[in-house]
Amino acid sequence: MSREPVRFADKFAAVHDLWSPRIVARMNDIDFKLVRIRGEFVWHRHPETDEAFIVLEGSMEIRFRDGAVRLEAGDMFVVPRGVEHCPVAREECRILLVEPAGTRNTGDAAGERTAPSDVWI
């Protein structure tokens, strides 16, 4: 067990790619992942799990087929399992994702934006 705190600034310094979540901690079977985002992601859903977005820096929007929610630094939103959504950020936004270990970033969608789900920093 490490007795060092996770320093988000230091960890983000090691994250260079957009839309590529990196695990910084695991609690039971839940991963805490840092990710830099900018632009529009893919429409997708996670049929088996909820997904928590915590904005650390910047702002973003999570679009739904019937609306959207805007998040600023310090905000959190949980997308319920099975709900189709599309994260969007006009400028770079740094977020912490909280989700079960092994969760694929593109959920039920596939394609070039699918990142490995087990990369630690």
pLDDT tens digits, 87-119: 999 999 999 999 999 999 999 998 899 999 999
Q: What is the mean pLDDT of residues 51-57?
A: 98
Place of tokens 């007795």: 3
Cβ atoms of 47 and 82 closer than 8 Å = yes
Range of the domain at 63: 22-121
pTM of the entire predicted model: 0.95
CA 18 to CA 27: how far, in whole Å? Answer: 24
Percentage helix, strand, coil for the chain under 3-state DSSP, each rounded to 5:
5, 50, 45
The CA distance from 82 to 80, in Å, is 6
Residue 108 lies in a domain: yes
Residue 85: per-residue pLDDT: 98
98 in a domain, yes or no? yes
pLDDT at 2 over 90: no
Number of domains in the chain: 1
* Sequence letter at residue 1: M
